[in-house]
Structure 1
């Protein structure tokens, strides 16, 4: 039996992991698009810039849809993982590191390729975004799946899950509070309140660093417990995974409901900062 003190620090460590995880999620889901539309393409040809923004956002859409079919493979791979550090923690740590590096690169024009060689930029963008998305998804699946591995006691799992959700909410809200102060502080040109590429890259590095640090704290401060009840008795093939998903009507209804919710909440969240920058004309007030 773990002592109350060790349980408490395990909860805190796990909450630090989810804190950093939702910092990264907010960067990707809400603020990356602001960078794409306001700073990524800045040639003298505004029609070409608008066209390139359309191509990039289409690539993101296609890859996000493709992720729907990749996630079951990721989950199945994680489920079969066996290491001395556990099943989930290696994916949390590796996923955090690779995703943070990839997203930082995406928050740049890759050395001016958007102007000097747009086609090469699009190819590299699609490749790096796919790598980032896959490793972020692996971390996402692993970090939220490891709660049953932290304790065999249902009451302790409920408490741990509560700590985790509090951490994730604070992470998402903190990044909202600091995004524009950080971007504008590091920007050489405020660009009408939208910041410049230097500011957005600094924001990506800081946010990715927070996410990675949270994953490291989680890895050091938690311990996965083994139990005969959690051991897989049979190997599940990728075909079986899709079969289970498609035949589970309750899961499909939940998925559809969450899809609609996700569309609504992300549209609103993404419009918020646009409103402060381009309508109110004072991005600094967004934090308040």
Structure 2
């Protein structure tokens, strides 16, 4: 298989994607253990009051946000024969496992003050150790492949792994809280965490063994000064961060005290597993719907709608009758829909605010922007956990008691229902001030594309920006691709639906115009060399896996930042390459040329299409594939190329508005198409030298 061909259809096997996802299973064996069960461990087993337990939970979660920043600045400074990131999985997993076990192994004979000190110390160490494993693990996806489609698969796989781990973990741990008065309860927890820690280390090692760092680390560095300059003028980001604070506070208020609800309101701690499963199903379902929601309603409205759903879920949780598991499952399912929807849209909106910040200030700060959001989210988690514990403590919760008072039960209901509902409403109200619509973002992306192309030309020729732009010629073309003294040579970009004839038409067109022909970066001919089974590898499951990217994760902010930064880096490299290729005239196939060179003086942008049956016939003739194989190849090619364009440039290459000429090649010969384009070009640019070029 050729290297380029594999890049076009995806470079990573399902085995490597699965092995990578095991790293997030390992992550969540400890992360979710602390998120879901640490609070109840502190009150019902270690014997701390709810108020003290909540204070520890709150402080260490906020510290976790700072630890993420420390790890983000540190992990790639050390280079080894295994790379910069993988060694942290190899050497960091064991210290993480040790402090994780110690956190849940507070000795029975300690005084209350020493118990507080024990848990506080080891929770703080756990958060730091976790950051030094989770941050490089999240960064690893961008180092494993430059293919944005593959990176989406990796993040989707970790989202599913995260969601499934939560359910399995609750099935193992939750039943142990039905009786916390036994003499062996501390030993059981120590043994449970030892088993989880050993399993986590094994999974980290599997991930380490199967991952490879093949892409140089290129994400933007985090500069506090640069970030603060951008944030001050970035209202959408400020609003998003404030909304994220209240939303995560609401979610973790409920998460931190959810076990109390299962044990005392529903009457069976083991039933927490069913609640976690209902939440996971809701999260996975909404992940598949988010793209459609975004298209139809916009990101802000989709977020607000999801926040309404999560608010309703919290209210229902408050009113669930004692012992009614079915009612609770419905409420937790709605909670999954709301939390999954808001989380997915939050990441998507965050990427938009990075573009807005660059457009407003000229500063692009993916790392800083996501770091700020990550810290705010962790702060919200801490405040939420503290608030939930404070409420149940104020209403008289007694740790480890077989039966709680009516007042304590009311406190548990308030902490899992009304309080998080109020916080969710605050998040909803705040997000009404988010003023970056889909249409506005689309306009910003277009303007940024123009600026970046102008900047690239200015840098290439070492001249001021003002000298690379001329007055519009009446056709929206104002970007000079070469010095005026050298005249204008033909530049034609071609984008095709697979099987529309670009590989035959392009070279003939270049010859007639007297310029060079530049094929697609990842050509269909190369893809044809891939094994037949690989042509249909982009199946429904793979597409769905990419759809749920980052939806089910609560701690992947910096990983998402690296993905955005890597896409931007690739797009910029392609931009520079295109401008260099166009300098002496060219016919350029693919490469997002119609967008990047859209305003170039002397450019013509063409899109080729044809009826599906005609395209299938041509692919069969050219490659020897069967009809079903040709149909599969066409579907994969068209879908993946469009997806890569959306990831790298936020545009749809199949939208006719970007082209000067759209030609149906199914009803004319290739020579007629060539003559048509040449004639149209000469009529559009009569003064351009279309006879003498680099090949003339």
With 203-212 and 7-16 compared, the bigger mean Cα shift is at 203-212
3-state SS, counterpart of residue 13 of structure 2: helix
Give the superposition deviation at 1:132. Answer: 1.0
Partner of 2:196: 207
Rounded Cα–Cα distance in structure 1 between residues aligned with 2:60 and 2:12: 41
Contact 1:20 1:168 (C-alpha < 8 Å) held by counterparts: no
- The answer to whether the 8 Å contact 1:245/1:252 transfers is no
Shift, 1:192, TM fit: 6.5
Q: Which residue of 62, 65, 69 corresponds with 2:66? A: 69
Matched, 1:91 2:88: yes
Map of 1:170 onto structure 2? 164
Return the alpha-carbon distance in structure 2 between the equivalents of residues 140 and 77 of structure 1.
Answer: 13
Report the secondary structure of 1:191's partner residue. coil
Alpha carbons of 1:281 and 1:99: their partners in 2 closer, same or farther (altered >3 Å)?
same
- Is residue 2:13 matched to residue 1:7? yes
Does residue 281 of structure 1 match 2:267? Answer: yes
Give the Cα–Cα distance (whole angstroms) in 1 for the partners of residues 237 and 89 of structure 2.
25
**1:177 and 1:287 in contact (8 A); partners too:** yes
Unaligned runs of 5+ in 2: 275-696
Q: Is 1:105 aligned to 2:102, yes or no?
A: yes
Name which of 141, 144, 153 aligns with 1:159: 153
1:211-256 Cα distance to aligned partner (Å, 9 max, x none): 22221111011111133xx4479xx5xxx63224433335554443
Distance change (3 Å), C-alpha of 1:214 and 1:259? farther
Q: Which residue of 1 aligns with 2:140?
A: 146
TM-score relative to the length of structure 1: 0.79
Q: How many Å apart are 1:37 and its aligned residue?
A: 0.7
Q: Do structure 1's residue 39 and structure 2's residue 21 form an aligned pair?
A: no
Specify which structure has the higher proportion of helix: 1
Q: TM-score, normalised by structure 2?
A: 0.35
- Kindly state the Cα deviation for residue 80 of structure 1 after the two structures are TM-superposed: 2.3
1:66 deviation in Å? 3.1
Matches within 5 A, 1:197-236: 197-227=186-216, 230-231=217-218
State how far apart, in whole Å, the 1-side matches of 2:125 and 2:93 are.
12
Matched, 1:132 2:126: yes
Alignment partners' CA distance in 1, 2:92 and 2:212:
18
Counterpart residue number, 1:259: 245
Cα offset, 1:155, TM superposition: 1.9
Q: Is the 8 A contact 2:21 2:161 kept in 1?
A: yes
Q: Take 2:258 and 2:113, find their aligned partners in 1: how far apart are those partners?
A: 31
Which deviates further from its counterpart, 10-19 or 85-94? Answer: 85-94
State the Cα RMSD in Å.
Answer: 2.9
Counterpart CA distance in 2 for 1:69 and 1:24 is 19
Asked whether the equivalents of residues 192 and 277 of structure 1 are also in contact (C-alpha less than 8 Å), the reply is: no
CA contact (8 A) 1:176 1:287 kept: yes
Q: Are the counterparts in 1 of residues 106 and 118 from structure 2 also a CA contact under 8 Å?
A: no
Distance 1:40 1:268 in 2: 21
How far the C-alpha of 1:56 sits from its partner, in A, is 4.5
1:108-156 alpha-carbon deviations (Å, 9 max, x no partner): 223522x3xx444443433322211101122222222221101112222
SS of 1:211 mapped into structure 2 = helix
CA offsets per residue over residues 46-65 of structure 1, 9 Å max, x none? xxx53xx5345423322322
Report if aligned partners of 1:19, 1:211 keep a CA contact under 8 Å in 2.
yes
Aligned length in residues: 263
Distance 1:19 1:5, change over 3 A: same
- Secondary structure, counterpart of 1:65 in structure 2: helix
Cα distance between partner residues in 1 of 2:211 and 2:122: 31
Matched residue of 1:204: which SS?
helix
Q: Does 1:241 align with 2:254?
A: no
Residue 45 of structure 1: aligned partner: none
